[in-house]
Structure 1
């Protein structure tokens, strides 16, 4: 975690050109431009306003960390949804014993329906006999 925070600090300090401990909309525009993209003044101001928790018109380090962590969390959820869809297969929005058996078979692991029901029961938080995405997420994290 300390290594991750030092990486965040380096990136934040790169954005913070005047070293005042805050990122302004113009500093944000400059950094985006440095990577070959364009950001209008309106877009930069909207981004800063969205991230600015203390409403001073600037993005502080804590705001920056929350933003970056949220992006990483979004990516994790996207990956989990992709994995979930592989097991779900039946189009019902949940992992059933049958769909789990089928996926495990594709992975070279032979299980009976009863074994799959027992595997599901361990993580079936609401007792409905299937794994929803929220239950899958809890299981994987």
Structure 2
């Protein structure tokens, strides 16, 4: 599936997908990415040599991660939330998200963390509740 979607939206046919092509491909897969989410995805999945483009193998990694998230059970969602919520406050704060992302070897620069919080934080309080977390990964009401 990932390869077919990649080929369909690689408009230039150069084997690389820019942010505009990625946005169209994600919409095809029922993911409506914001501008901030696109930036965060590009930052996370564009591996060396970081060229601002996703190649097929990088796109496949993104699709695999999206499928894992969509297939997660409610129990797995809650387990993941509690892993992020280090102080057990019931919210994922930016510092907690940064700590987890760093420990996973994932993008943890300030812009990426702020983009991730902004994507999930629907009430605008600067942190992510369990309901917001569930909604962002497709397990909310």
TM-score (norm 1): 0.44
Q: Which has the higher contact order (CA 8 A, sep 6+)?
A: 2
Structure number, greater radius of gyration: 1
TM-score, normalised via structure 2 length: 0.44
Greater share of residues in helix: 1
